[in-house]
Amino acid sequence: MKNFAFSSLIFITIVLLGAHQSLAQSWDPGSGNIGVTLLAGYEWNYFNLSAENPNVTLTSGTLNGFYGEVRGETEDLWSRLTADYSTGNPAFSEAAIFFNPDLPRSLSQKILNIEGDLGVKVADLDWPMPSTLTLYGGLAYRDYKYSIPMGSIDFSWYYGALGFNYIGRLKRMTLGVDGALQLPFSSSLEDNSETSGTGSASVTPDLGYRVELPMTWDIHKSEDVFWREPQQTTILLFVTPYWQYWKIPAWKVTYPNGSYADSSASTTNTFGVLVGAGVNLWL
């Protein structure tokens, strides 16, 4: 992951240099995105939890859920509020069951993410297509729960997001890249054991990463926005493949009766796709 982080910094540097060059040129329409956009849809993802040492998969499987987004844009500013919730029953691997024979075949898992971002459009580009580059910062909350017959764990944390959003337009379509570094803080881990009671631990994940490839297609455009003219309404479809990575340090929980449970360092990789419909109101 160090190589990935270094490559990410190089890429962001190149993008910023391109933005600096573009600012010396005249301002053009860029991607043309402006107004308020509402999106709602379905989320599917493949979740993988691996032990860091030894490097073996502990649980993996698919999750399903919902996604919602509200985005506001002017010619200079960009804001976004997103929420997604997914649930499923990832399976324990043979290696995990070997380490702990008491484990069942699968667990119940729920993940909630809420994030708010605010950015500045630093460049409108005309190559290789009309496009807009935004740099943004944000604040987010993540809640990760899983349960098995012996108990459950609720692990949550806040994180700051620092990223960029590049969107290009090809007539009715937009294509983009959204990448962010995620800096966790203020975490909480609670372990509820049926036999030992409830214990807690202080553990904060390491720096996380997120990459998205948002795509939209305008399927209808009207010059009437309900009661206002001559503004514009656009109905669109969206598809957003994404990848998210977290590294969780080793932790140890002590229960009220003096017993304890611990876990080695682990990593999570989530590969998913968001699919749905939305509307853009050019107010």
How high is the pLDDT of residue 8? 47
How many Cα atoms sit within 13 Å of 19 on the Cβ side? 17
pLDDT of res. 20: 42
**Lowest pLDDT segment from 107-116, 131-140, 161-170, 191-200:** 191-200
Mean pLDDT score across all residues of the chain: 84
Please report the pLDDT score of residue 7 as a whole number.
53
Q: Give the helix ranges, DSSP H, for the chain.
A: 2-23, 94-99
Q: Is the pLDDT of residue 125 over 90?
A: no
What is the structure's pLDDT at 5? Answer: 44
- What length is written for the chain? 283
pLDDT tens digits, one per residue of 136-171: 999 999 999 988 777 888 999 999 999 999 999 998
Alpha-carbon gap, residue 130 to 257, rounded angstroms: 64
Tokens 């999106």, located at residue = 39
Lowest mean pLDDT among 25-39, 44-58, 88-102, 111-125: 25-39
Q: State mean pLDDT over 96-115.
A: 84
CATH class of the region 2-282? mainly beta
Question: If pLDDT is split at 50, 70 and 90, which confidence band does 9 have?
Answer: very low
pLDDT at position 78 is: 95
User: pLDDT by residue (tens digit) across 235-270?
Assistant: 999 999 999 999 998 887 777 777 777 778 889 999
What are φ and ψ of residue 214, in 5° steps?
-70, 140
Phi and psi, residue 90, nearest 5°: -60, 145
Q: What is the pLDDT of residue 2?
A: 42
Q: Note the pTM of the prediction, 2 decimals.
A: 0.83
Q: Could you tell me the two tokens for 29?
A: 């329409």
Residue 212's pLDDT is 98
Q: Distance of CA 279 to CAs 70, 234, 262, Å?
A: 10, 6, 47
pLDDT at residue 203 in the model: 86
Indicate if the pLDDT at residue 4 is higher than 80.
no
Q: How large is the average pLDDT for residues 212-232?
A: 73
What's the pLDDT score for residue 228? 45
Provide CB contacts within 8 A for 106, sequence distance 6+. Answer: 59, 61, 89, 90, 91, 92
Query: Which of 181, 153, 161 lies closest to 81 in space, CA to CA?
Result: 161
What pLDDT was estimated at residue 28?
45
For 59-104, write each residue's pLDDT tens digit: 999 999 999 999 999 989 999 999 999 999 999 888 777 777 777 7
Q: What pLDDT is recorded for position 123?
A: 92
Side chain identity at residue 163, one-letter code:
G
CB within 8 Å of 35: residues ≥ 6 apart: 72, 73, 232, 280, 281, 282, 283
